[in-house]
Structure 1
Amino acid sequence: MNQRIHRLVEPLRQPAPRSLAGAHLVSGLGDWAGRLALTVVVYDRSQSAAWAAAVTVVALLPWIGPGQMLATLADRYGRTTVMIVSDLARAVLFFLMAFTTSVPILLAAAFAAGLCVPPFAGARAAALVDVCDDETYPKALALFGVLTQVEVLAGYAAGGVLVATVGARPALALNAVTFLVSAVFVASLRRTAAAQPNSTSPVGWAGVRSGLAIWRTDPVCGRALLLFAGTNMFSVLPETLVVPFAADVEISETWIGALAAIIAIGSLIAVVFAPSDGTHEELLRATAWRGLVVAAASGALFTVASWPVAAFAAYAVSGMVDAIAVPTNQVVGERLPQAGRSAAMTVAAGTQNITHVVAITVAGITADRWGTPTTLAIAMVAAGCVCVWAALRPVAPTSTKPAAVAVSGAGNEGTPGS
């Protein structure tokens, strides 16, 4: 166990991965804490649950098209440049939100801040490949998987504490500072490969098409994306349905926060033990078999979730399914070409968000008809079926990374290289 923890934190010994990890954590804390504080402000102003829910909607909308187009700028102008601009823009927007009283203006500002997230996330994912060697990259991915869970837990907790102690509006202004800190971390990477521009990378819609084409040209990358998105669309449902689930199995509202938090704990445990060795095809197969085991276990536990211990265990094990993200991201990061990497990774994130919308919509309807425990058990079975398909269906082995894909035709951006 100590050896695995040592392996997990080993990337922090290197300056560039350490700075990127700092930016990842601090920026993520600002995103989640800011979303909570903004939801409080919008609800206080409108007294409407629909307007409060709109905060989440406007945060997701940039991932369905416009965010992917903006992410292509990271391939053209350098990962660090795009990350710093994204951080500074969000800092300004969150500071202005603290002094805005109009709900429509608040939501418009939230949408503008949301537009900065896909390019930042795509550039960060691509930069991690740029600053890590082949041995360090799998370890860094596992570390970032842990940090992602920590930022969600700590972000919500920090947002709640700030709202309770200083109020929602001061909390928004303080959250702006987290993006400035993140920009400082990223600025230390200006002399690394992550800062290098590529004048030939297409941007705008042409860049998005290039990112899509990359997934089609490499069957191993495509398999990794399908395995991740196909399981993650179901593993996200326990968190989404935690409130009605608690009501259905008669768990007190006092324990809802702990029930949601235990998902992240399960994911953290699985990330520490996630496979990282072998060929890419072997790694995906091993990941699929592990995913099948934990999905089946979680599904079985949801069928007896009327017992509180089983309910908490089901939620913890469901979080382990989400750890599939680490080895699948390792495969993708090691195979994607440098040119177009940011666009391709943001296309993958957009795919994830679209599948989330579909799965959540269907699950909500199903839960109203059959109850949340049955719905979540079915979801885990579905995730297991995806894992069986990925484990048993052969993928054409390829020993080389895909080449950068050239996209012909004029894009909307009107720049050379499209």
Structure 2
Amino acid sequence: MSDALRNREFRALWIAEAQSVLGDHLTTVALSIMVYNRTGSALWAAVVYALTFLPALAGGLGLAQIADRYPRKAVLVISSATQALLVGGMAIPGMPLAPLCALVVLARLAGAPANAAQNALTREIFTDELYLRSQDLRGITANIAMLAGFGGGGLLVTSLGPSWALALDAASFVVAAALVQLCVRARPAAGDPGDGWFTAVRWVWGQRRLRVLLALSWLVGLAVIPEGLAAPLADQIGASPQAVGWLLAADPVGFILGTFVLSRFVSAENRRRVMGLLATAAAAVLVGFALTPTLPFALLLLMLAGAAGAYIITVGATFITWVPNELRGGAGGVYRTGLRVAQGVGVALGGVVADLVGSATTTIALAGAAGVVLTIPVAVSWSRVRRTTP
């Protein structure tokens, strides 16, 4: 991964993305605390939290195509500058709730083209195996930023206040825009502005090999069910309330370790070869929750599931590689949106099943079993696709 960092353009993109991800998680914490303190309503706090995700879903299918129609460097700079202004507006003390919600939606919508441009531009920078290593580094950094943002976000917000925390996030977008402007080479637009708005979406759905990769990514929806059940899981296995944080952290820690091992010791071709096996293993490990594990055993199971789940980086990198450059922005939006929807549906479904069966451990074990059943045919399809694709 250090080889990827030697590239000046990627280094700028990586730093810009890392601080933006960290700032986004900090903003999520700040908004939750700000809204709850102002309204005293758990419902309003949950609504504002949901607003940080929903626009990304709509923007992923629509606005992501801007990254194909216009120069990607310009898309990144303008998007970051726009987010800086919108988040800066949220930081104004006493901002009424309705405009605050509107700013949240607009800020996340503005981020959709930037995410698509980042993914597509990184593939333009690297045309060899370094591209996969760069995605490993991005995946590790994103998970570390998530842990730091959620873990330290509450402390920072309570120390500085929500407005200052939001101001810091706004400043991070200014820095990101400056880094991209100064360090990334200008390239012409990859696509044609006259192309149909959903050309990339239609093209992706017409490719069987890409549909199989999408199916592999959607299976992550079952793997995230333990995250949504962390609190009842801790209660059921007799752990303290503080253990909820440990249970939430176990999966991303395992993901970081799994990504490092794959990146350091497994070639790109072998990683593609074992994607189906790792996807099956990530689900199979969760079946161990049928034993109603102790806290240490539960943490181990979640870390192992997270480590196996590191296959998703290879899925995403292969998907982008197999898409023509002029369609990568829109296609990346399809991939990212599907991944987000699968995760949201998985968490919601896990909550419904847990209420029905009355057990968090049983629900997680059922998710693991369902994951194995669903993953095996997808893994077989992937094996066939991989052998027939040049």
TM over 0.5: yes
Cα–Cα, structure 1 residues 219 and 249, in superposed 2: closer, same or farther, change >3 Å?
same
Match of 1:197 in 2: 189
Cα–Cα, structure 1 residues 20 and 303, in superposed 2: closer, same or farther, change >3 Å?
same
User: Could you tell me whether the CA contact under 8 Å between 2:253 and 2:303 is conserved in 1?
Assistant: yes
TM-superposed CA distance for 1:39, in Å, is 1.0
> Equivalents in 1 of 2:317, 2:88: separation in Å?
36
TM-superposed CA distance for 1:312, in Å, is 1.3
Matches within 5 A, 1:369-388: 369-370=356-357, 371-388=359-376
> Equivalents in 2 of 1:332, 1:67: separation in Å?
16
Match of 2:82 in 1: 89
Does residue 291 of structure 1 match 2:269?
no
Structure 1: which 5+ residue stretches go unaligned?
A: 1-7, 401-418
Greater CA deviation, 317-326 or 50-59?
317-326
**Residues 26-58 of structure 1: CA deviation (Å, up to 9, x unaligned):** 111111111110111111111111111112221
Match of 2:64 in 1: 71
Match of 2:136 in 1: 142
Q: Pick the aligned partner of 1:314 from 301, 313, 322.
A: 301
User: Could you tell me whether the CA contact under 8 Å between 1:73 and 1:119 is conserved in 2?
Assistant: yes
User: Could you tell me whether the CA contact under 8 Å between 2:123 and 2:321 is conserved in 1?
Assistant: yes
User: Could you tell me whether the CA contact under 8 Å between 1:19 and 1:186 is conserved in 2?
Assistant: yes
Paired letter, 1:88: A
TM-superposed CA distance for 1:116, in Å, is 1.6
Q: Pick the aligned partner of 2:104 from 95, 101, 110.
A: 110
Paired letter, 1:216: W
Seq. identity, %:
26
Matches within 5 A, 1:230-379: 231-274=219-262, 277=267, 283-300=271-288, 302-370=289-357, 371-379=359-367
Q: Pick the aligned partner of 1:159 from 150, 153, 156.
A: 153
> Equivalents in 2 of 1:345, 1:224: separation in Å?
12
TM-superposed CA distance for 1:392, in Å, is 2.1
TM-superposed CA distance for 1:289, in Å, is 0.8
TM-superposed CA distance for 1:128, in Å, is 0.9
Match of 2:378 in 1: 390
Cα–Cα, structure 1 residues 115 and 9, in superposed 2: closer, same or farther, change >3 Å?
same
> Equivalents in 1 of 2:353, 2:37: separation in Å?
31
> Equivalents in 1 of 2:389, 2:305: separation in Å?
33
Paired letter, 2:349: V
Does residue 177 of structure 1 match 2:171?
yes
- 1:127 aligned counterpart, secondary structure: helix
Cα–Cα, structure 1 residues 312 and 283, in superposed 2: closer, same or farther, change >3 Å?
closer
User: Could you tell me whether the CA contact under 8 Å between 1:210 and 1:344 is conserved in 2?
Assistant: no
TM-superposed CA distance for 1:15, in Å, is 0.8
TM-superposed CA distance for 1:119, in Å, is 1.3
User: Could you tell me whether the CA contact under 8 Å between 1:201 and 1:339 is conserved in 2?
Assistant: no
Cα–Cα, structure 1 residues 190 and 15, in superposed 2: closer, same or farther, change >3 Å?
closer
TM-score, normalised on structure 1? 0.86
Match of 1:413 in 2: none
TM-superposed CA distance for 1:224, in Å, is 1.4
May I ask how many residue pairs the two structures share in their alignment? 384
- 1:317 aligned counterpart, secondary structure: helix
Paired letter, 1:266: G
> Equivalents in 1 of 2:388, 2:25: separation in Å?
39
> Equivalents in 1 of 2:230, 2:42: separation in Å?
17
Match of 1:223 in 2: 212
Cα–Cα, structure 1 residues 184 and 285, in superposed 2: closer, same or farther, change >3 Å?
same
TM-score, normalised on structure 2? 0.92
> Equivalents in 2 of 1:385, 1:18: separation in Å?
41
Cα–Cα, structure 1 residues 105 and 278, in superposed 2: closer, same or farther, change >3 Å?
closer
Cα–Cα, structure 1 residues 26 and 244, in superposed 2: closer, same or farther, change >3 Å?
same
Match of 1:212 in 2: 201
> Equivalents in 1 of 2:3, 2:369: separation in Å?
36
Matches within 5 A, 1:54-65: 54-65=47-58
Cα–Cα, structure 1 residues 48 and 288, in superposed 2: closer, same or farther, change >3 Å?
same
TM-superposed CA distance for 1:237, in Å, is 1.4
Structure 2: which 5+ residue stretches go unaligned?
A: none
TM-superposed CA distance for 1:18, in Å, is 1.0
Cα–Cα, structure 1 residues 21 and 75, in superposed 2: closer, same or farther, change >3 Å?
same
> Equivalents in 2 of 1:61, 1:40: separation in Å?
19
> Equivalents in 2 of 1:91, 1:63: separation in Å?
17
TM-superposed CA distance for 1:285, in Å, is 4.3
Match of 2:4 in 1: 11
TM-superposed CA distance for 1:310, in Å, is 1.5
